[in-house]
Amino acid sequence: MSSLPRPKPLPPLTLILGGARSGKSRFAEGLALQAERPYYLATGQAWDTEMADRIKTHKAQRGPQWDNIEEPLALTDRLKALSVPEKPILVDCLTLWLTNLMMAEYDIAVERQRLLECLPDLPGPVLFVSNEVGFGIVPDNALARRFRDEAGRLHQALAARADSVYLLVAGIPMTVKSI
What SS3 class is residue 43? coil
CB atoms within 10 A of CB 64: 7
DSSP H or E segment with residue 166: strand 164-169
Q: Does the residue 66 lie in any domain? A: yes
Q: What is the pLDDT of residue 147?
A: 96
Q: What is the pLDDT of residue 161?
A: 97
Q: Does the residue 28 lie in any domain? A: yes
What pTM did the predictor assign?
0.92
- Here the CATH number for the domain that contains residue 163 is 3.40.50.300
Range of the domain at 40: 13-177
Q: How many domains does the chain have?
A: 1
What SS3 class is residue 126? strand
Q: What is the pLDDT of residue 3?
A: 58
Half-sphere exposure for 157 (CA within 13 Å, toward CB): 16
Q: Does the residue 87 lie in any domain? A: yes
Q: What is the pLDDT of residue 106?
A: 98
Q: Could you give the residue numbers annotated as active site?
A: 58
Q: What is the pLDDT of residue 47?
A: 79
Q: What is the pLDDT of residue 172?
A: 96
Q: What is the pLDDT of residue 1?
A: 46
Q: What is the pLDDT of residue 6?
A: 55
Instruction: Give average pLDDT by consecutive 10-residue segment, the chain, 179 residues.
Output: 63 96 95 93 88 81 89 98 96 96 97 98 97 90 96 98 97 94
Q: Does the residue 1 lie in any domain? A: no
